[in-house]
Amino acid sequence: MLTIVGELLLLAVGAGFIGAISGLGGGVFIVPGLTVLGHIPIHVAIGASLISVVATSAGASAAFVRDGWTNLRVAMALEVATVSGAVIGASLAGVLQARMLELLFAAMMLVSAYFAASKHGEQLVLATSDPLAQRLQLSGVFPNGEGRLIPYGVRNLPGGAAIMVVAGLMSGMLGIGAGALKVVAMDSVMGLPLKVSSATSNFMIGVTAGAGALVFLSRGDVSVVIAAPVALGVTAGALVGSRVLMHANVQALRMVFVAIMLLIAVEMGWRAISGI
């Protein structure tokens, strides 16, 4: 037992660590890790991954909420979209064959690798919100590090919500946080400052993955013997990873992450096609 728990913990700590320093989240690495290395059925791997994503989000988002980076009202307005997507995605995952899920995972990895390889510019802070965002009081303030609070506006809630449905769908179906897509929705489409988008995305990931996990739990696709060490390991790995991230320049490692993602995409794609 100790050997298997040790191996699962090691795999999960590694996935959580790389997930945190790459900004992609542990789910992206734990699902292929469990299926390819652990020979665990992909449905069970996704169920375990979703629970570990909830744990990572809860641990990481607490400090951002306390320090005022998370826009709670934007998060709650968009959670309707992400949770709808997650419930549909997790339900679809239940009826899809393992090979189809592996193929979708490979495709998601390729798209993620493309976005990780391309650089993003900083957006300007919006001065005012559009009428809908004003009515819902979505604008906020963020600390600038010198004791001042900088106000920012919000725009295009429906556009952001549409992308959030897709993010939720991917999360529930493939067992990932889909944080990168959530950040794109808030940063590029809704005009939120990048760090506010990251903090708010982190907060929303917990509820999105939790909704997906609930479907997997009630369907009976969660194995406690796999999910328990995975949740513990990914959380610990993400904790260490986020500490390292604060003190190290990991931008130089970006292409290494891209290479790992391409490798995973090829491996998962090959499994799906060859039926191994």
Partner 1 sequence: MQDEDRVLRVWTPIILRASVLTSAVLLILGLVAMALVTPGSYVARVHELQTRGRAAVRQTWGTLAAEALKGQPHAILMVGLLVLTLVPLGRVGFTFFLFLKERDLAFTLLTATVLFLLVVGVMLGRVG
Residues that bind partner 1 (CB under 8 A): 1-2, 4-5, 38-41, 43-44, 51, 54-55, 57-59, 61-63, 65-66, 68, 72-73, 76-77, 79-80, 83-84, 86-87, 90-91, 94-95, 135-137, 206-207, 210-229, 231-232, 235
Nearer to partner 1, 187 or 221 (CB): 221
Nearer to partner 1, 165 or 258 (CB): 165
**Whose structure tokens read 């191996």?**
7
- Alpha-carbon distance of 1 to 12, in angstroms, equals 16
Nearer to partner 1, 14 or 38 (CB): 38
> Closest Cα partner for 164 from 182, 143, 152?
182
CB 102 to partner 1: min, Å: 14
- Alpha-carbon distance of 172 to 210, in angstroms, equals 9
CB 181 to partner 1: min, Å: 19
DSSP 137-158: T--EEEE-SSS-EEEE----HH
CB 35 to partner 1: min, Å: 11
CB 112 to partner 1: min, Å: 24
- Read off the tokens for 115: 């976005």
Nearer to partner 1, 120 or 135 (CB): 135
- Read off the tokens for 12: 């999960």
Q: How far apart are the first and last CA of the chain?
A: 26
CB 150 to partner 1: min, Å: 16
Listed in sequence order, the residues at least 6 apart from 239 whose beta carbon sits closer than 8 Å to its beta carbon are 16, 20, 59
- Alpha-carbon distance of 27 to 86, in angstroms, equals 14
Nearer to partner 1, 81 or 106 (CB): 81
**Whose structure tokens read 């992308």?**
163
Nearer to partner 1, 31 or 54 (CB): 54
CB 187 to partner 1: min, Å: 22
**Whose structure tokens read 């069970």?**
44
